[in-house]
Amino acid sequence: MTTSISRYNTAPLPMRVRVLRSFATPGGAIYLLLAALLIALILYNPGLAAPDQLMRFIGRTAPVAIVAAGQYFVIVSGELDLSMAAVIAAQVVLAGNLIGQNAARILPVVLLMIGLGAAVGLVNGVITTLLKVPSFIATLGTSLAISGLTFYATGGAPSGNPVNSFRAIGRDGFENVPILGFLPYSVVVLMALVVLAAWLMRKPFGRTLIAAGDNPVATSLSGASVWWLRTRAFILSSLASTVAAVLLVGYAGVSPVVGDGYDFAAITAVVLGGVALSGGRGWLMSAVAAAFALEVLFSLLSFVGVASTWRPAVQGAIILVALGAPLIRWRRRAFSASPGIPVASPAPSPGEEVSA
């Protein structure tokens, strides 16, 4: 009697090995980077080690993490949303002018903001998926249109002053919290949204969304509505921008430029978190962790004397490195896997003689 031995070891790997291997991936390595940057920042600013100060820092970073989570849904589906900054600015101006000093208007205006955010996401999704306009162009056009309307309504100057009870959502919090000392409302909002987003990604919607980003044709043939999946991703992105706008009113004020840079910050965080820009791969929590890593990095750079004007250049370099490194690694693996395959010579141009 012969015994067949499988050439593959199908036994599950120990948990310790799987954890170590996960840290070797871009999505796992971001946690190590965040920890290293945070330690360096605390060394430069020891006061940040205090729990209440750390909570305040997380609270200030919450809007960036929220828009990164929203951008994650769009990018993992294979698209891109460049309208987030314009949506934030428009919602901030809307809240500042409609709420005013009347606290009774807070709930109706917030509901209006949610409706407008969903409408912008729906427009982006329909233009991209049904009209087949590339998402880069579609959301850029939406961004320019919204920004133009916002600047026209405000004249390019700060406008509106919402009541303090509305501003408190972004700048106040729970006092005398055990261990933490102070817990900003923005941290609570961030935690709730991250839990909700993680729950969505574990549901059929999330799994199918990733499948649509990886192979939309196969996903469509399986019976899923790819256009509606991606449209819902755009809606979630715009709603995330709306929530970020509510928080930003608390400490950034009411200005038509308050959202500048948030769209590219979100894209940088998602890419740095190991999410494939082409869609189909990536972890939500890694994108959120990358948003915090970026803010810690920029805070550290300011402590060492680097001017804030370098921030766009740093973001651009991060995107290039994050996108280029996997491509170089893939090409090296492909070359080492097939060293004996000859490289095909280019085909001759029409009319060119080929020597024997």
| Confidence at residue 210, expressed as pLDDT on a 0 to 100 scale | 94
Which SS3 state, helix, strand or coil, does residue 168 take? helix
Could you give the CA distance from residue 173 to residue 286 in angstroms, rounded to a whole number?
A: 26
What tens digit of pLDDT does each residue of 242-269 get? 999 999 988 777 888 888 888 888 998 9
Could you give the CA distance from residue 68 to residue 100 in angstroms, rounded to a whole number?
A: 29
Q: Is residue 174 part of a domain?
A: yes
Q: Is residue 317 part of a domain?
A: yes
Provide φ and ψ at 268, rounded to 5°: -60, -45
Under DSSP, the state recorded for 130 is T
Q: Is residue 10 part of a domain?
A: no
Could you give the CA distance from residue 63 to residue 295 in angstroms, rounded to a whole number?
A: 11
Walk along the chain (356 residues) and give the pLDDT tens digit of each residue: 445 444 445 556 665 555 555 555 666 788 888 999 899 989 888 888 888 899 999 999 999 999 999 999 999 999 999 999 999 999 999 988 888 888 889 999 999 999 999 999 999 999 999 999 999 999 999 999 999 999 888 887 777 778 888 888 888 889 988 988 899 999 999 999 999 999 999 999 999 999 999 999 999 999 889 999 999 999 999 999 999 999 998 877 788 888 888 888 899 899 888 888 888 888 999 999 999 999 998 888 888 877 777 777 877 887 777 766 665 665 666 666 555 555 444 444 444 444 43
Which SS3 state, helix, strand or coil, does residue 181 take? strand
Q: Report the predicted TM-score, pTM, of the whole model to 2 decimal places.
A: 0.85
Q: Is residue 20 part of a domain?
A: no
| Confidence at residue 278, expressed as pLDDT on a 0 to 100 scale | 85
C-alpha closest to that of 194 among 91, 77, 65: 65
Q: What share of the chain is helix, strand, coil (3-state, %, to 5)?
A: 70, 5, 25
295 close to 124: Cβ distance less than 8 angstroms:
no
Q: Is residue 356 part of a domain?
A: no
Q: Is residue 203 part of a domain?
A: yes
Q: What is the DSSP string of 264-325?
A: HHHHHHHHHTT--TTSS---HHHHHHHHHHHHHHHHHHHHTT--GGGHHHHHHHHHHHHHHH
| Confidence at residue 310, expressed as pLDDT on a 0 to 100 scale | 78
| Confidence at residue 48, expressed as pLDDT on a 0 to 100 scale | 85
| Confidence at residue 109, expressed as pLDDT on a 0 to 100 scale | 93
Q: Is residue 201 part of a domain?
A: yes
| Confidence at residue 321, expressed as pLDDT on a 0 to 100 scale | 77
C-alpha closest to that of 99 among 44, 27, 166: 166
> Range of 107's domain?
47-324
- Looking at the structure of the chain, the number of domains it has is 1
Q: Is residue 38 part of a domain?
A: no
Q: What is the DSSP string of 182-237?
A: EEEHHHHHHHHHHHHHHHHHHSHHHHHHHHHHH-HHHHHHTT--HHHHHHHHHHHH
Report the amino acid identity of residue 191.
M
270 close to 55: Cβ distance less than 8 angstroms:
no
Q: Centre a 10 Å sphere on the Cβ of residue 300 and count the other Cβ atoms it contains.
A: 18
Q: Centre a 10 Å sphere on the Cβ of residue 32 and count the other Cβ atoms it contains.
A: 12
| Confidence at residue 229, expressed as pLDDT on a 0 to 100 scale | 95
Distances in Å between the Cα of 261 and the Cα atoms of 86, 99, 164 are 10, 25, 26
Residues 6+ apart with CB under 8 A from 151: 256
